[in-house]
Structure 1
Amino acid sequence: MKLNGVRVLLADDHAMVRLGFRLLLEGAGASVIGEADCGESAVRLYAESNPDVVVMDVSMPGVGGLAALERLLVWEARARVLMLSAHHDDIVPVRALKLGARGYLCKRAAPEEFLRAVGEVARDRRYLDPELAQAVALAQLSGSANPVESLTEKELAVFLKLAEGRSVNEVASDFCLSPSTVGTHLYHIKQKLNVQNAAELTLVAVRNGLIES
């Protein structure tokens, strides 16, 4: 697929991943006008460069992809964002699309699929990874009984960080919150997910495909 003239901002904390995306995009005629290695940088670079498409990883240091998506859309409601993830679940894609992402793609997709997704989002069309489409549709239709779905946006963001092994103080720093506020979120998360400790919290995330085992 040709992407002549499409201006792209890449947001991923792995330099080699960004390089791979850059080579694919430039080979298709697009121009990469900026690279960010965390959510905060992505929001700042968007404000400075006004790209046609933001390609952003869900899992990044700092606030993370979902929170960065939310902040970016507060800044510019018409921003066209393609979210990427290495994890194959239906919970995060549903959240991302509800927040306003134009597309969602698994990182294991073929290069041609990645370029097609960028092209569709650049045209302001929605794009969802074909492997996820059915699961996402069923989750939206059924109102999924998965307890993770009961978490608020902030609780989900905190849950993902804690499940990755971040401490309460580290998560508080990531989101510019007080440790007591994160502790309150953690209390509600444990209540909703019926878990007692950090190990059980991580296990829920692994079983839902939200983090690697």
Structure 2
Amino acid sequence: MTRVILVDDHVLVRMGFRMLLADAGIEVAAEYGSGEDALAGYPHVRPDVVVMDLSMPGMGGLEAIRRLLAQDAKARILALSAHEDTAHPQRVLRAGALGYLAKRSAPDALIAAVKAVARGERYLDAPTAQALAMAQISGEESPAAVLSEREFSVFLHLARGLSVAQIAAALNVSTSTVGTHLYHVKQKLGATNQSELTLMALRWGLIEP
């Protein structure tokens, strides 16, 4: 039986996923409400698949994916997201996740995605795969594509309203390091303050309204 860890800060979402997976004969071995808790619990569970939501308080799903793969390079991760952009799936797959599934997908897509990732195969839901293909063909990218991986993480945290100190704590870096990344983010995106960064993130579909 395939064993998974569910990581999502919404209890009702985890409950729904657990019932859906159980009906398909997939065992939910553990559930966590944050990336931090998932990192602490993972070594004790060693699941076949980690189903990781990207939008969570604290370090967030993307940073948790990076740290989890640094902890265990063989971890098989399926990322879930409510975002409609192409930047998130690109970043997630680049970070080492095997799959990406939009939360708007049909329930049976979650089953197919978990089974594919458990086999060590890549998985992208059809609409996301099409959006990525169209963006590549047209040459259109989110302006956030110019940011480095860590700059992108700092940008998202800032856009969600976190302070420099809160971001430093979430990413486990110094406030001066966050300040440096923030300077580069503003320079690259042509922003002057946090409000402008939030508006940019909303316009590009990188955060939820």
- Mind listing any 5+ residue stretches in structure 1 that lack a counterpart? none
Query: What CA distance in whole angstroms lies between the structure 1 residues aligned with 2:142 and 2:28?
Result: 38
What's the CA shift string for 1:16-49, capped at 9, x where partnerless?
A: 1111111111111111111111112112222111
- TM-score w.r.t. the length of structure 1 is 0.93
- TM-score w.r.t. the length of structure 2 is 0.95
Question: How high is the sequence identity, in percent, across the aligned residues?
Answer: 55
Q: How far off its partner does 1:167 sit?
A: 1.1
Residue number in structure 2 paired with 1:92: 88
Tell me, yes or no, if structure 1 residue 192 matches structure 2 residue 196.
no
Residue number in structure 2 paired with 1:82: 78
Query: What CA distance in whole angstroms lies between the structure 2 residues aligned with 1:78 and 1:175?
Result: 22
Tell me, yes or no, if structure 1 residue 151 matches structure 2 residue 143.
no
Query: What CA distance in whole angstroms lies between the structure 2 residues aligned with 1:79 and 1:69?
Result: 9
Residue number in structure 2 paired with 1:38: 34
Residue number in structure 2 paired with 1:211: 207
CA contact (8 A) 2:142 2:204 kept: no
Aligned AA for 1:41? D
SS in structure 2 at match of 1:54: strand
SS in structure 2 at match of 1:158: helix
What's the CA shift string for 1:119-147, capped at 9, x where partnerless?
A: 11111111101111022234456765532
1:26 to 22, 27, 36: 22
Aligned AA for 2:147? L
Residue number in structure 2 paired with 1:10: 6
Query: What CA distance in whole angstroms lies between the structure 1 residues aligned with 2:58 and 2:104?
Result: 24
CA contact (8 A) 2:7 2:53 kept: yes
Poorly superposed stretches of 4+, deviation over 6 Å:
none
Query: What CA distance in whole angstroms lies between the structure 1 residues aligned with 2:208 and 2:36?
Result: 24
CA contact (8 A) 1:94 1:140 kept: no
Query: What CA distance in whole angstroms lies between the structure 2 residues aligned with 1:68 and 1:47?
Result: 14
With over 3 angstroms needed to count, the CA separation of the structure-2 counterparts of 1:71 and 1:15, relative to structure 1, is: same
SS in structure 2 at match of 1:10: strand
Residue number in structure 2 paired with 1:136: 132
